[in-house]
Structure 1
């Protein structure tokens, strides 16, 4: 089920939706750079993949500026509103933040501000030009994709409960099917306003005021000042080394450091000597995951509000101590180990002929986010803040102006200071696990990026709506391996051979001769396009 892996010299785009990939390629051919293409792709994904991402969500951009030879990160995630506290929810008799509805709208969306920052700092095409494709698709429609149809069918009750979502995705109470036209006129109007007024429309102008008024009327607690105060941040990416390569991830509030921890441990294992389809491989991966998640869950939150000892957590000495704890013959740990997380995300990558590279990821958190649209804006608001805890002793406790623990984590691999691999995936708990599947596939097992994406994948943990941790493994000829894992004490949940529950990954590989190889996940609706 490997897709054709395109190879090109001028540029490469890989996204989870074929129309977004086409837009990115078009922007490059119009004279835009990778940064322009990334913004146009991101906006288009918000229209073509609205169950995964949109203007009401967050994003992270991992950027390589070829002219400066510099790697930078942009944290485009929103903060909790000034009036949102644990007491607010506990006063309603709640022990946790609602996962859906207006009560789950806790944080200001960071997406539009991140677009503006990337475009104004690095882009060379006009702002309006970058949003034109998204406006065109919102106004005149896009065909419903295979993945979108699947989530519309699953979420019918949620969609029918919101008038805007119902009109858009369930016209006359009937779910849109694959290939039918999805038209979003209200979202088109919002995008047009933003294309004319810039980011100020979303954070200061009448558009913002109307969205806040609608949310207030529905019982929401975000106010106009929360939007006015929002700003994204340029940050320094985290790095570690792995057998001569430099691995880069976003710093907290992203969970990216957990993947770096896993790779630090795996570096001690001489992984290439362990067959990729063996029970020993899957057991080692599971135990490494649990050790990294133990640290992640203990420390990860907004670093402005907590001390996160990253130097120690990412040290080779700490990796050695964790690795020494791992006993390959030990049984699986207790159930209910992890907190349930949303898994719905869109990752994309783009590189241009100058060597500029962008690895970026965006999300509404759950499918269709909060399942609430702010007034007549067409903007589906994220429910990312529902992951905050109401426990005052928890590291990720809800606090005004705080960013929450974030699953999003775009990745990059560099050698001699230059990118050689851009990669990332959808998937909540699965994001660091799929990341290490791709990394080890390329770096240890000699796969192309397309072959690495196509390898059987796994997810250890607990997805929202489930009662316990399980070890989900795509079963492509792995019956014997799964039986052996069960004999060793693992609660294995075999998946179909190409299961969307393991997420949708994309990647771009840069070869020594300067060519680019791109790959999109056959489990999704994506496409890699080279120029």
Structure 2
């Protein structure tokens, strides 16, 4: 139990339904859908789409989504891949001939076809009760009426608004300045897009005037995107992957997402007495950092389009993890693997909803970098993702940019199952950090007995590009100990990710948690 004389928040408890996400308006919209008789999926879609208005730097209808879903009548988990593909006319050779060694992330070449709207329509049809129009209604209202910019969104806008370009600046800047905390942001072009999708379904977005607006904007900048690329953007159901950590099973979305790396990282950590360490001491941070270096190096070799991913069984193998664990020196930091040519990012949104029937939804939705590519369509102001930056241009690599391929994706929804029963849909935002974040949250709970809110509140560290980023929640003494082990230690400018979780307690009630690193809330009824 937390010390009530110190800052913090308690877990939220309710008996019927609950939503946890990164903005209170989105959480409230989801709860309203539940109270109106909607399913957890109806509510998750409502909250997610509204987050594109509340947090446009992190997500929007020009992006992608992934989902894990557990239905009330089963403890089976369904996975859905709502990620878009590269244009049919693109090739890595073409970019190499242009002189590029990596996909330029704030360029039309990085724009992949947005898969989220198709995904939401399919998920609504399969798992919803009310229909896509009801799920889109809250976002339509707020896009028209406007939303006061929340503190975290204002912080991100100030830092990253400069990446907006052309029509992106017209639709997402307040004149020549970034929107500041408290200023009203409207997206009336997007409201019209959502009205049409509500009436006509996914084809309203992927064919006709809306698609023409996106294609014309991209083509004017030299893109090779076509109307056929948009019309052919269809997401698909797939099978999740999973692994055990102590008594809990971690369920993740399969490639092209990086969820398998969270399982690999936990499998490496099993070989160390994490529970015997100081939860916020140097030893744990060091072992976790070394394990992450090894796990992420494996990711960069193997995770790619589902049809190109190689050696998934190898990544999930206990034997692979055991061999990697032997490479970790408890008293010395290893050299960091070579820097990625694929781009990584720190921005996305995550929402989890559990309804009264105990359908559980874990959904993540992103435009990749802050404000994506910075490119927005001229008429409707659809901000386009730069997810193509997740490809490599290395000839022959599984994740090499190619026609109709899906890139390696950083966004991953998570879910846990204990003794065969679905226990906790959760997610940790933060791009590159996400597998490490999933492992950190689970070890906080399983090794140190933290409740879900404590597990999200706790300080974080992350080894990235030769630097060990250590949040201010750690002491200076710990940072010095880590430096003495050979790490290059920095305090990051912004926090490491943000997270949301809902635990379905064995006694039937719900326990919600929302990360203070974002503006969000867990609310129930």
Q: TM-score, normalised by structure 1?
A: 0.94
Tell me the CA shift for residue 87 of structure 1. 2.7
* Counterpart for residue 139 of structure 2: 134
* Counterpart for residue 487 of structure 2: 490
* Counterpart for residue 67 of structure 1: 73
Tell me the CA shift for residue 284 of structure 1. 0.7
Tell me the CA shift for residue 262 of structure 1. 1.0
Secondary structure of 1:452's partner? helix
Per the alignment, do residues 162 and 148 of structure 1 end up closer, same or farther by CA in structure 2, a change over 3 Å counting?
farther
CA distance in 2, matches of 1:410, 1:225: 29
* Counterpart for residue 176 of structure 2: 173
**Which one of the candidate residues 24, 35, 53 is aligned to 1:29?**
35
**Which one of the candidate residues 500, 506, 519 is aligned to 1:506?**
500
* Counterpart for residue 473 of structure 2: 476
Secondary structure of 2:175's partner? helix
CA distance in 2, matches of 1:235, 1:417: 20
* Counterpart for residue 310 of structure 1: 312
Give the conservation status (yes or no) of the 8 Å contact 1:204–1:227.
Answer: yes
CA distance in 2, matches of 1:311, 1:335: 22
Per the alignment, do residues 44 and 156 of structure 1 end up closer, same or farther by CA in structure 2, a change over 3 Å counting?
closer
Deviations 1:230-288 (A, max 9, x none): 11111111011111211100111011111101111222223211111222111110111
Give the conservation status (yes or no) of the 8 Å contact 1:389–1:397.
Answer: yes
Q: Check if 1:299 corresponds to 2:302.
A: yes
Secondary structure of 2:468's partner? strand
Per the alignment, do residues 429 and 381 of structure 1 end up closer, same or farther by CA in structure 2, a change over 3 Å counting?
same
CA distance in 1, matches of 2:178, 2:313: 50
CA distance in 2, matches of 1:158, 1:475: 27
Tell me the CA shift for residue 475 of structure 1. 2.8
Higher mean alpha-carbon deviation, 96-105 vs 177-186, is at 96-105
Q: Check if 1:525 corresponds to 2:519.
A: yes
Higher mean alpha-carbon deviation, 412-421 vs 30-39, is at 412-421
CA distance in 1, matches of 2:269, 2:508: 29
Q: TM-score, normalised by structure 2?
A: 0.95
Give the conservation status (yes or no) of the 8 Å contact 1:500–1:524.
Answer: no
**Which one of the candidate residues 376, 399, 402 is aligned to 1:373?**
376
Give the conservation status (yes or no) of the 8 Å contact 2:391–2:407.
Answer: yes
* Counterpart for residue 8 of structure 1: 14
Note the 1:208-247 alignment, pairs <5 A: 208-247=211-250
Per the alignment, do residues 501 and 338 of structure 1 end up closer, same or farther by CA in structure 2, a change over 3 Å counting?
farther
Over the aligned positions, Cα root-mean-square deviation in angstroms equals 1.6
Tell me the CA shift for residue 335 of structure 1. 6.8
Tell me the CA shift for residue 204 of structure 1. 2.3
CA distance in 1, matches of 2:459, 2:75: 35
Secondary structure of 2:178's partner? coil
Per the alignment, do residues 482 and 389 of structure 1 end up closer, same or farther by CA in structure 2, a change over 3 Å counting?
same
Tell me the CA shift for residue 101 of structure 1. 3.2
Deviations 1:426-453 (A, max 9, x none): 1122111111111111111101110000
* Counterpart for residue 329 of structure 2: 327
Deviations 1:342-388 (A, max 9, x none): 11111111101111000111110000000001221221000000221
Give the conservation status (yes or no) of the 8 Å contact 1:59–1:114.
Answer: yes
Tell me the CA shift for residue 193 of structure 1. 1.1
**Structure 2 stretches of 5 or more lacking a match?**
1-6
Give the conservation status (yes or no) of the 8 Å contact 1:3–1:520.
Answer: no
CA distance in 2, matches of 1:166, 1:429: 27
Per the alignment, do residues 156 and 228 of structure 1 end up closer, same or farther by CA in structure 2, a change over 3 Å counting?
closer
CA distance in 2, matches of 1:378, 1:59: 19
**Structure 1 stretches of 5 or more lacking a match?**
463-468
* Counterpart for residue 447 of structure 1: 450
Q: Check if 1:87 corresponds to 2:54.
A: no
CA distance in 2, matches of 1:475, 1:15: 23
Give the conservation status (yes or no) of the 8 Å contact 2:444–2:455.
Answer: yes
Note the 1:101-116 alignment, pairs <5 A: 101-105=107-111, 107-116=112-121
Give the conservation status (yes or no) of the 8 Å contact 2:257–2:408.
Answer: yes
* Counterpart for residue 466 of structure 1: none
**Which one of the candidate residues 500, 506, 509 is aligned to 1:515?**
509
Tell me the CA shift for residue 76 of structure 1. 0.5
* Counterpart for residue 251 of structure 2: 248
CA distance in 1, matches of 2:414, 2:212: 36
**Which one of the candidate residues 146, 151, 154 is aligned to 1:146?**
151
Give the conservation status (yes or no) of the 8 Å contact 2:65–2:365.
Answer: yes
CA distance in 2, matches of 1:334, 1:68: 43
Tell me the CA shift for residue 393 of structure 1. 2.9
Give the conservation status (yes or no) of the 8 Å contact 1:45–1:54.
Answer: yes
Give the conservation status (yes or no) of the 8 Å contact 2:411–2:434.
Answer: yes
CA distance in 2, matches of 1:377, 1:238: 38
Note the 1:258-273 alignment, pairs <5 A: 258-273=261-276
Deviations 1:87-108 (A, max 9, x none): 3223333232211132321x11
Tell me the CA shift for residue 506 of structure 1. 0.9
